[in-house]
Amino acid sequence: MRSRILSLWLPSLSTDRLLGRARRDANEGTQPLLTAHRPLVTFESQNSALRLAAVCPNARDAGLAPGMMLADARAMLPTLQVRAAEPEADRRLLGEIAAWCERYTPYVAIDRSHEHKPGGALWLDVTGCAHLLGGEAALLADLLERLGRQGLHAEAAIADHPGAAWAVARHGEPERRIVPPGGAEAAIAPLPVAALRLDPENARMLERLGLYRIEQLHPLPRPALAARFGDHLLTRLDQAQGRIDEPISPREPRAAHRAALSLAEPLGRLEGIDALTRRLVRDLCAGLEIASAGARRLVLTFIRVDNSTASIEVGTSRACREPKRLFRLIAEKLEKIDPGFGIERAILDAVVVEPLLPEPIAWRAMGAGDLDQARDLAPLVDRLSNRLGREAVVQLAAQESHIPERAQRPVPALSRHIPESSPALSRHVPGNAPALNGAISGAFSPRPGYGSAPTRPLRLLARPELIETMAPLPDAPPLLFRWRSALHKVARVAGPERLSPEWWRAPDVDPGMATRDYFAVEDMDGGRFWLFREGLYLACAPRLPRWYLHGLFA
């Protein structure tokens, strides 16, 4: 099957955007700042001079063109409306139009070859899509009609190759905008050389040499053209005639799993949006189940009748394909959606997907207990993360270290870098298994009467805090200590547990000064603390050991 490419050109994109905003203000009862029937231009600074960047059709009919001096344009049209160019706003609008054009084909790309032309442009690969609308002529007419109703002036053409479609859309006759298969070379032959997407300087040079039309280039020797104008001219000529392939890529990678729905009538009520979202979520989860996959991040996009879009993004702490749970996350943000003049299309993309085994298989792979803990806690983590933000909720990921403060690191709860089977998901609740993921070896053996203390405190301080202690012997545990200006008398002690330094991190440091002896102590008031002495009492030590408080038991 031959490729069929549609080139869409929006020559008045900037001014159409401004006039569209003025019409919306008038419909909402606000006094518009622009008048639709008066000529409108935008300007930008070029080489310390103000020049026209875009002109509306009325201004173009009056003789104005992009590149003219602003002062000359004002002299020609005293009633001219002038606004500063906003390239970023134009790019956003072009991206919204590209998303809207996906109703015709999933392969829509931003055309970057129009940079020396005003406005914006898109590529649409309509191969195998035209019959859905009754043929290429019907598709082209429907596209231009819908854009026209939204106040956008557009030109378009369809051909076998992007270069031919580009040339015919801008320089071809309006009644011959569909190039028949295999007719690209004949269709572009009578067009001006500027239709080859040449830079303005080369196009003017060719015209000064008397080469006005593309067909005049055919008899000339190619080495001479390449020597005079470079390989770019021959490349563009071959691309337009189909001798060189010019593939186009979608503006963004298509999601592996997508659910989309186009509506016969625009939707403007929240109840309808809610029902539409439920259906999309159900369809998406059905596809995920077939693929044995689960979603980690979802993007729901609503496309309004005026080309504008509204999006919702949610994430999950672990792969999920439960319709009720995913819909609950999205429903919390649906109230923020403004339907505007009506929603005519909705797309739900699973942009981050991970393998998700059926539950009985997951039990064997992960362990039934860990799976139940992660499954029970995941909905809470998801709701908090989507309400408070991706960075506001964190979980702990284990690291290869026996030093307590290095054994775990906080990571965003919705981070995709934690695998589904990671035990980090079961550590949202303190006390699940040994704290610190068992990174510290050695058991805590309480003395009789001390009670059933855990091997590690339930709460670790972010950094060990320096304390003042009093001990009967240098190597003995303290009898009392002062922490945060409060004095604690020690009633019971368990330990010590010795942790050596990480020699591979700092081999040039004296290991004797970094060795830690940990003690679990209980004061007279029943408070339980995790203390350690850093350093050893050695004759060669440059300073005396210091005591720190590192954690609190329940």
Among the residues of 172-264, which ranges form H helices? 184-188, 200-208, 222-229, 231-241
- Give the per-residue pLDDT at 326: 92
Q: How far apart, in whole angstroms, are the C-alpha atoms of residue 356 and residue 280?
A: 20
User: Are 494 and 519 spatial neighbours (Cβ–Cβ below 8 Å)?
Assistant: yes
Instruction: Band the pLDDT of 154: cuts 50, 70, 90.
Output: very high
The C-alpha atoms of residue 211 and residue 203 are separated, in whole angstroms, by 9
Least reliable range by pLDDT among 125-134, 177-186, 291-300, 502-511: 502-511
- pLDDT (0 to 100) of residue 525: 92
Residue 11 has pLDDT above 70, yes or no: yes
Predicted local confidence at residue 501, as pLDDT? 79
* Cα–Cα distance for residue pair 214/181, rounded to 1 Å: 19
Q: Quick check: 537 pLDDT over 50? A: yes
Which residue would you say has higher pLDDT here, 423 or 387?
387
- Which stretches does DSSP call E strand in 418-485? 459-470, 480-483
Domain C-terminal end among 211, 241, 271: 241
Considering the domain architecture, whether residues 464 and 545 belong to the same structural domain is answered as yes
High-pLDDT (> 90) share of the chain, %: 27
Structure confidence at residue 484 (pLDDT)? 92
Which pLDDT band, with edges at 50, 70 and 90, does 363 fall under? very low
Is residue 338 pLDDT above 70, yes or no? yes
Are 441 and 498 within 8 A, CB to CB?
no
Bond into 223 cis (ω within 30): no
From CA 389, how far away is CA 413, in angstroms rounded?
A: 10
Within-domain flag for 304: yes
Average pLDDT of the segment spanning 146-156: 90
Same domain, 136 and 213: yes
Structure tokens at 212: 């006005």
**Dist CA 150 CA 134 (whole Å):** 23
Give residue 492's pLDDT band: very low, low, confident or very high (50, 70, 90). very high
> Which range of residues forms the domain containing residue 122?
5-11+86-241
Q: Which residues face 108 on adjacent strands?
A: 124
In the chain, the amino acid numbered 371 is L
Choose between 542 and 367: higher pLDDT: 542
Domain shared by 346 and 423, yes or no: no
With a CB cutoff of 8 Å and minimum separation 6, the contacts of 389 are: none
pLDDT tens-digit readout, 220-230: 898 888 888 88
The answer to whether residues 300 and 399 belong to one domain is no
Same domain, 160 and 301: no
pLDDT band with cut points at 50, 70 and 90 for residue 390: low
Question: pLDDT at position 449, please?
Answer: 39
pLDDT at position 268 is 82
Note the pLDDT of residue 122. 93
Separation between Cα atoms, residue 373 and residue 381, nearest integer Å: 12
> Would you say residue 155 has pLDDT above 80?
yes
Of 114 and 143, the structure prediction assigns the larger pLDDT to: 143
Is 362 contained in some domain? no
* Contact in structure between 301 and 309 (CB atoms under 8 Å): yes
438 pLDDT exceeds 60? no
Q: Are 340 and 308 in contact (CB under 8 A)?
A: yes
Q: Specify whether 403 is located in the same domain as 478.
A: no
The residue among 191, 214, 241 that closes a domain is 241
Place of tokens 């008398």: 489
Of all residues in the chain, the percent with pLDDT exceeding 70 is: 79
Residue 209 forms part of a structural domain: yes
**Can you give the pLDDT at residue 549?**
94
Residues 340, 408: one domain?
no
Provide the CATH number for the domain around residue 315.
3.30.1490.100
Give CA–CA dist 554/551, Å, rounded.
10
The larger pLDDT score, comparing residue 219 to residue 389, is at 219
- For residues 214-230, b (16+ Cβ closer than 10 Å) or e, as one string? beebeeeeeeebeeebe
Is 258 strand, coil or helix? strand
Phi, psi for 350 (deg, rounded to 5) = -95, 95
Does the pLDDT of residue 168 top 90, yes or no? yes
Task: Say yes or no: 262 and 294 in one domain.
Answer: yes
pLDDT band, very low/low/confident/very high, at 396 (cuts 50, 70, 90): low
Mean pLDDT value across residues 541-553? 85
> What confidence tier does 358 reach under pLDDT thresholds 50, 70, 90?
low
What phi and psi values does residue 426 have, to the nearest 5 degrees? -90, 5
Q: Note whether residue 159 is domain-resident.
A: yes
- Tokens representing residue 467 in the block: 């304390």
413 and 545 in a common domain: no
Name the band, by pLDDT with cuts 50, 70 and 90, for residue 452. very low
Q: Which range is least confidently modeled, 57-71, 281-295, 328-342, 361-375?
A: 361-375
CA separation for the pair 203, 444 (Å, rounded): 84
95 shares its domain with 235: yes
More confident residue, 349 or 318: 349
Distances (CA, A) of 467 to 472, 480, 518, 530, 544: 17, 10, 14, 12, 14
In a domain, 481, yes or no: yes
The strand order across the sheet containing 293-304 reads: 257-267, 343-355, 293-304, 309-320
pLDDT at 442 over 60: no
* Amino acid at residue number 470: M
Domains in the chain: how many in total? 4
Query: In which band, very low, low, confident or very high, does the pLDDT at 253 lie, cut at 50, 70 and 90?
Result: low
432 or 153: which leads in pLDDT:
153
DSSP string, 27-91: HTT---SS-TTS-EEEEEEETTEEEEEEE-HHHHHTT--TTSBHHHHHHH-TT-EEEE--HHHHH
Q: The whole model's pTM is what?
A: 0.58
Over residues 407-418, mean pLDDT: 60
pLDDT at 453: 43
Residue 428 has pLDDT above 50, yes or no: no
In whole angstroms, give the CA distance from residue 39 to residue 56. 6
141 and 282 share one domain: no
Q: What is the rounded average pLDDT for all residues in the chain? A: 80
Q: What is the reported pLDDT for 552?
A: 92
179 pLDDT more than 60: yes
Do 342 and 264 fall within a single domain?
A: yes
pLDDT above 60 (res 39): yes
In a domain, 317, yes or no: yes
Query: What is the spatial distance between Cα 12 and Cα 55, in angstroms, rounded to a whole number?
Result: 6
Q: Where are the alpha helices (DSSP H) in 230-312?
A: 231-241, 270-290
Does any domain span residue 31?
no
Contact partners, residue 357, CB within 8 Å, separation at least 6: 292, 365
Measured at the CA of 9, the angle between CA 8 and CA 15, to 5 degrees, comes to: 135
Q: What is the mean pLDDT of residues 132-145?
A: 91
Confidence of residue 528 (pLDDT cuts 50, 70, 90): very high
pLDDT for 1 equals 65
**Residue 235 in domain:** yes
What local confidence, expressed as pLDDT, does residue 366 receive? 47
